[in-house]
Each structure stands twice: as structure tokens, then as C-alpha cells.
Amino acid sequence: MPAHGQDGPSPEPDRLVLPGGPAVDERLEAVVIGVVQGVGFRWFAVEAAGRLGLRGWVANRADGAVVCVAEGPRPALEALLRELAGGPISADVERVIPAWMPATGRFGRFEIRSGSHPGD
């Protein structure tokens, strides 16, 4: 049997991911660019996020884009990102700019916010 350490470095215990373990929430901040205002995009995002069990908000920006901030498990956030890229049938999404970060846990549900809100 090899001496300790000769098999290569052992993983740090806090970095182990066990199958079936609890999902770690993440945060997605996505800016959706294109014809996305006045076409029901925010309601579309609320419905998609609700179906996926996500928390956060969506709002129009003054420059014509829509910003969506969502927290939850990474697979659900990735599904939301795909939904945002497609948008409702009346939208014409040119691109979605995603940013990933740790979740804050500040949201109880997913809602539409005024474009003039200061964020969270």
C-alpha cells in the first residue's frame, strides 16, 4: 500500500460534492437585449421563473433592455437563461448577457419591479 500522499493530493473535505447532496443556490443576473419591451417579456419571465421555482425579479431598463435577477439551483437558472434567449413569441431577442455569482438569499418570490428601482 502506498504511503499517504503518494496517490496525489487528496481533495479538501469542503470541496467534495456528494451525489444527492443539497443543491447550492446561485445567482444569475441577465441583461436581455433586443425588442423586449412592450411585448410581455416581463410576464413571460415571471411565468418561467415561477415554473422553475426561482426567486428574484425582472424589470425594464431605460435603454430598452430587460434585466432579470434570479436565484436558485444552477440547472434551473440555466433553464431560465434558455427561456430568456427565446423570449415570448412577440419579442425579438438579439442577445442575453449573463453574469453568475453567489446567491444572496434576499428574495422570497419572483416579481416584476419598476425600472426605476435601485436594485436589491
* Chain segment 36-85, per-residue pLDDT in tens: 999 999 999 999 999 999 999 999 999 999 999 999 999 999 999 999 99
**27, 51, 55, 60: which is the annotated catalytic residue?**
60
Instruction: Please say if 82 is a catalytic residue.
Output: no
**15, 27, 42, 55: which is the annotated catalytic residue?**
42
Strand partners, 100: 28
Instruction: Please say if 106 is a catalytic residue.
Output: no
Output the pTM of the full model. 0.78
Q: Specify the pLDDT at position 24.
A: 78
| Between 118 and 67, residue with greater pLDDT | 67
Residues 6+ apart with CB under 8 A from 114: 59
pLDDT mean across residues, the chain: 85
Domains with residue ranges and CATH for the chain:
23-112 (3.30.70.100)
Residues 6+ apart with CB under 8 A from 86: 93
Task: Using pLDDT thresholds of 50, 70 and 90, give the confidence band for residue 20.
Answer: low
Q: Specify the pLDDT at position 118.
A: 57
Q: Specify the pLDDT at position 19.
A: 58
Parallel, antiparallel or unpaired: strands 25-35 and 92-102: antiparallel
